[in-house]
Amino acid sequence: MARNVLVTGASRGIGRAIALALARQGFDLALNYRSDDEAAGKALALVEAAGARARLVRFDVSERAAALAALEDDMKAHGPYWGVVCNAGLHADAPFPTLKAEAWDQVLKVNLDGFYNVLKPVVMPMVRAHQGGRIVTVSSFSGVVGNRGQVNYSAAKAGLIGATKALAQELAKREITVNSVAPGLIDTEMIEGAPIEEILKRIPMRRLGKPDEIGAVVAFLFSEGAAYITGQVLQVNGGLS
């Protein structure tokens, strides 16, 4: 029986690439998305074409009650998750003096509260299953070193790294690993409008990363070969420092 894995924010970009990478490893996938039914349908079709059994689970990770209800319903129908990828994220950039309270609150709610809202309902079912497991959060280079114009995003992603490391300590004896992947600048919709030529000058490899390259790292962390890796932050950023 294939292991059951949840990927949040799976309808496009990095989340879709992660789902595809895990599909190729033979996992059964619950693909979370917030609102774009068309994009979610495309992701589902791609994952199924890769040979995986998959389903869509619609909820907003920042809405605690909705997340709880959706996750409990999915686990009731399909059993506890063996793995979870907390990928759903949001940015709303502005210099700190002009950063609006709404932008601060929403970025923290999605990126950091989403960790609690998704993992709180699923961790104890994972523990009770006595099968070990994998949890991977998707942080950011911005959360490791900070980034001007992203005080809210950097704060949320840095907090996500701290939460990841702490949860890893709690779950290690249960053979559930908890790690974070911190992408640099990846070629997705999130960087539309950014000054790409200036950005490339900062990257030693002189190119943007590809979503599939993040998916491959997550897939490695879900493999048997990564069973002794926990509490770590794997930076995938072309050499940025």
**Taking a C-beta distance cutoff of 8 angstroms, is the pair 128, 90 a contact?**
no
Size of the chain, expressed as the number of residues it contains:
241
Q: Among this protein's residues, is 153 annotated catalytic?
A: yes
Buried b / exposed e across 106-144, counting CB within 10 Å, b at 16+?
bbbbbbbbbbebbbebbbeebbebeebbbbbbbbbbbbb
Structure token pair of residue 16: 């879709």
For residue 10, give both structure tokens.
Answer: 């799976």
In 34-190, beta strands by DSSP E: 54-58, 83-86, 133-138, 176-183
Strand boundaries in the chain, DSSP class E? 4-7, 28-33, 54-58, 83-86, 133-138, 176-183, 233-236
User: Residue 129 corresponds to which tokens in the numbers above?
Assistant: 């299953």
The catalytic position among 33, 81, 116, 153 is 153
Q: Please list the active-site residues.
A: 153
